[in-house]
Chain A
Amino acid sequence: MTKLDGNVLAGRLTDALGWDATAADARCATCGAHGAIAVAVVYLTAMGAVARCPHCDSVLATFVESDGGRVWFGMPGISALEVTH
């Protein structure tokens, strides 16, 4: 398991959301801390990626990669995400 940061999610987020959210501010649903997705702690495995809050270690988002380009994307620990038009 490789410990990285949210920068590595740029491609996955672009595929999932249609835009690169790595510089967007996200709020942790568990502890209320907020910051750019890029500073989240990200663990990569063969199954996908898990992003955790750098303050309280709660799971912010998960990407589970399946065959044929299917991805299960969840944001169980993000209570708000900054979206700029």
Chain B
Amino acid sequence: MSDAGTVASARVRKHPPAAWHVATVADSRPETPTARRIELDVPTWPGNDAGSHLDVRLTAPDGYQATRSYSIASAGAGTRVVLAVDELPDGEVSPFLVHDLQPGDKLELHGPLGAFFVWTPPDVDEAPRPVQLIAGGSGVVPLYAMAAAHAAAGDATEFRLLYSVRTPEDVFFRDELAALAAAQPSLQLDFVYTRRVPDGWSAPAGRVTKDVLDAATVAAASRPLVYVCGPTPFVEAVAGWLIDAGHRPGDVRTERFGGS
């Protein structure tokens, strides 16, 4: 193999191949007052990178199809795939997934998907970089997968999650995140509550601002990889402030969601 070939193969990561699968619902339970955690058994699943998503396709009896994308909360090998779906009351697919889907039901899905908004542990010959995760609401789902993959890899790289959420009850993966942070000194959690704060919380309720971002994220001088996921206005505001703060555009990876 030539030197050039070695360089290229180090740069190009292979992702598990995407395909259409039939999943069986193994479990569905409340995650927050508006969301459910749905666990799927997918016998043909090839595993997935942390941060990737899948498309769920529902077909009505008359043949009408609706396809929506959902981030995957699980990562790595294995055929158990975990979703956490927030209900959008006007949505076409999420109310069905939250209210009607029962264990034993079958779902048609396409995945794993996404080669851009994924995090993989650094290769042995690769200098590790700190990672800053920034979540708005249910945008935490792929970022939780990254934090869990970081812990599973025993990676000592600095990892920080800034999580903007309405109230303490709306926190996704609350117990799991607390357990990860307790077991993993390199993971730091920072919460911003936009509507109601927990008892004894020092800051008033309010949105993420440029000042919050500067105070509670890895500084641009440390050259972190930054992953931002949330509703479109949240992602656009945060990404703009990050660039203003000196982060390089190529180091800021974004994923927007909305209306499903």
Contacts and interface: CB of A to CB of B under 8 A. Distances in A.
Interface of A: 2-8, 10-11, 14-15, 20-24, 36-39, 44, 67-69, 84
B116 A36 contact: yes
B12 interface: yes
A44 B63 CA distance: 20
19 contacts: A2-B260, A3-B232, A5-B255, A7-B69, A7-B114, A8-B69, A10-B69, A10-B113, A10-B115, A11-B18, A11-B67, A14-B18, A14-B113, A20-B113, A22-B115, A23-B115, A37-B116, A39-B254, A68-B63
Contacts of A38: 114, 116-117, 253-255
Contacts of A8: 69
Given A2-B259, A3-B258, A20-B114, A10 B12 contact: no
Contacts of B54: 11
B180 to A, nearest CB: 24
A84 B12 contact: yes
Given A2-B260, A4-B257, A7-B117, 4 more contacts: A3-B232, A36-B116, A67-B63, A68-B63
A23 B113 CA distance: 11
Contacts of B8: 84
B256 A4 contact: yes
Nearest to B257: A4
A67 B65 CA distance: 9
B15 interface: yes
Contacts of A69: 65
B256 A10 contact: no
A3 B114 CA distance: 18
Contacts of A84: 8, 12
B111 interface: yes
B84 to A, nearest CB: 17
A5 B256 CA distance: 6
Given A8-B69, A11-B18, A14-B18, A2 B117 contact: no
B223 interface: no
Nearest to B255: A7
Given A10-B53, A11-B18, A11-B67, A3 B256 contact: yes
B55 interface: yes
B207 interface: no
A10 B67 CA distance: 12
B41 to A, nearest CB: 20
Contacts of A22: 113-117
Nearest to B113: A10
A3 to B, nearest CB: 5
B110 interface: yes
Interface in B92-145: 110-111, 113-117
B113 to A, nearest CB: 4
Contacts of A68: 63
